[in-house]
């Protein structure tokens, strides 16, 4: 079990793909990644808008891999059911956006979907300790949420080390600025699910970039 949780998985963030041919982009990437990361932005919690459940519904038949949904939204509770119905296999909600985080995670789990809690760069590991205990996975943001293509914040590595030390079996996902330079740092600190947008979609050679992100070559 421990081994399985620590297996490195690469998840492609669709934010950076060519939106004009999103299905082709997924098909061209699917063979080299372990999952597709679906970033939902509401223009309130973050100063940007992206896509919602009807888009996921349309795409979830395209990928043979699972979609993990990252809800960068105020009051994510009202969205959970629609994303489950649209085909999400994992859903993460921001610690900062959930006054009843334990209940929200429980609702996600009750749908038989993996429940994740997300920590912004400014959110302390200590504040979120109880929520992490209850979540299936913790997503540590390595940029401020809202935009792809930002620079990795190395300060979050210390937070990952602390989580890994206290939760040896927890899935730790990292998101933002992951590339061939930062992926090894994240893995060394204890992250095992790596989200990458620009690094994957800004190159035509998806096989090489994904292998390098996994640190295998």
Instruction: Check binding of 13 to ligand DX5 (CB under 6 A).
Output: yes
Distances in Å between the Cα of 124 and the Cα atoms of 128, 140, 150 are 7, 10, 21
From the list 16-24, 31-39, 114-122, 165-173, the region that binds Zn ion by CB under 5 A is 31-39
Nearest to 118, CA basis, from 159, 89, 147: 159
Instruction: Check binding of 175 to Zn ion (CB under 5 A).
Output: yes
Q: Is 162 in contact with 190 (CB distance < 8 Å)?
A: no
Instruction: Check binding of 68 to Zn ion (CB under 5 A).
Output: no
Distance of CA 21 to the CA centre of its chain: 22
Please pick, among 39, 42, 68, 136, the residue that the annotation labels catalytic: 39
Q: What minimum distance in Å lies between the beta carbon of 121 and ligand DX5? A: 11
Instruction: Check binding of 146 to ligand DX5 (CB under 6 A).
Output: yes
Q: What minimum distance in Å lies between the beta carbon of 52 and ligand DX5? A: 15
Distance CA 28, CA 30 (A): 6
Distance CA 81, CA 53 (A): 10
Instruction: Answer yes or no: 18 catalytic.
Output: no
Instruction: Check binding of 148 to ligand DX5 (CB under 6 A).
Output: yes
> Which one of 53, 60, 70, 94 is in contact with ligand DX5 (CB under 6 A)?
70
Residues that bind ligand DX5 (CB under 6 A): 13, 15-16, 37, 39, 70, 143, 145-150, 175-178, 195-199
């Amino acid at each position: 079990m421990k081994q399985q949780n620590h297996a490195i998985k690469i998840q492609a963030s669709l934010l950076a793909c060519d939106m004009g041919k999103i299905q082709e982009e997924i098909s061209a990437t699917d063979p080299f990644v372990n999952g597709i990361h679906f970033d939902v932005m509401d223009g309130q919690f973050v100063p940007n808008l992206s896509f919602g459940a009807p888009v996921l519904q349309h795409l979830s038949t395209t990928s043979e891999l699972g979609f993990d949904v990252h809800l960068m939204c105020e009051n994510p509770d009202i969205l959970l059911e629609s994303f489950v119905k649209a085909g999400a296999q994992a859903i993460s909600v921001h610690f900062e956006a959930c006054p009843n985080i334990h209940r929200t995670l429980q609702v996600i789990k009750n749908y038989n979907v993996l429940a994740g809690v997300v920590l912004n760069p400014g959110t302390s590991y200590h504040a979120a300790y109880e929520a992490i205990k209850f979540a299936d996975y913790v997503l540590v943001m390595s940029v401020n949420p809202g935009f792809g293509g930002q620079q990795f914040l190395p300060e979050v590595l210390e937070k990952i080390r602390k989580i890994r030390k206290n939760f040896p079996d927890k899935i730790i996902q990292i998101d933002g600025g992951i590339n061939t330079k930062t992926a090894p740092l994240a893995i060394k600190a204890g992250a095992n699910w790596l989200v990458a947008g620009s690094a994957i979609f800004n190159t035509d050679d998806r096989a090489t970039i994904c292998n390098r992100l996994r640190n295998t070559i």
